[in-house]
Amino acid sequence: MLDHGFVRLDGAMADDLSVVNSARVSFGRRVDELSDADAGLIRFLMRERHGTPFEHNSFRFHVRCPLFVAREWFRHRVGSFNEFSMRYAKATDDFYVPEPDDVRTQVGKPGAYSFEPVHAELAQTTRDELRAVYEHAYETYERLVEQGVARELARAAIPVGAYTEFYWTVNARALMNFVSLRAAETAQREIRRYAEAVERLFAEKMPITHAAFVANDRTAP
């Protein structure tokens, strides 16, 4: 993902059957295999926004992304996070430098921005200036640590373009909410790419639930 990142499914206890059995327990019923009727039940639950049956499963993702992407991600509070700590480990020297086509200008008012590409010269200038800032910041960080400054303080020199990594454990209902917001056209381009990758992994594990989500205008139940 991007220039130094990734998202991978580290583990999962999730399938479409979990939704069906979580719903049917209200009637004292359980099935071992999905039927067409069960697929219809999933679509009904999604459409009518009966959300709790979509919570009885779990996805564990391992993510590496720029700090500014992580800070947007962490606003999704229905889930658990454990993040790399610059208090205990040396700060990364990987920083996000956008591809020339991803250097963009912002047009419009807050809440109604559109984004347009910039000309090639400005795109290259942007990339060069970001690299210069990153190099200076990381040299400052290393110098302070070498002189005895605690890592927990020296990390203040690190820009938000630095990469971090974390584990994220989340159920399908909260995952769909994340995807509905962060894979939308209005989301920031960088986190949108991660959300699209998360969605592909979700679709592999719960294809019927994912199809119902898409059919429901990508609205989480």
**What amino acid positions are annotated as catalytic residues?**
182
Alpha-helical (H) ranges within 48-205 are: 67-73, 120-146, 151-154, 172-182, 189-205
Contact partners, residue 112, CB within 8 Å, separation at least 6: none
Whole-number Å distance between alpha carbons of 128 and 152: 28
CA neighbor of 117 nearest in space, from 106, 126, 108, 128? 106
* Lookup: tokens for 47: 């459409």
- The 3-state DSSP composition of the chain as helix, strand, coil percent (nearest 5) reads 50, 20, 35
Give the residue carrying structure tokens 């719903």.
Answer: 23
At 115 the three-state DSSP class reads strand
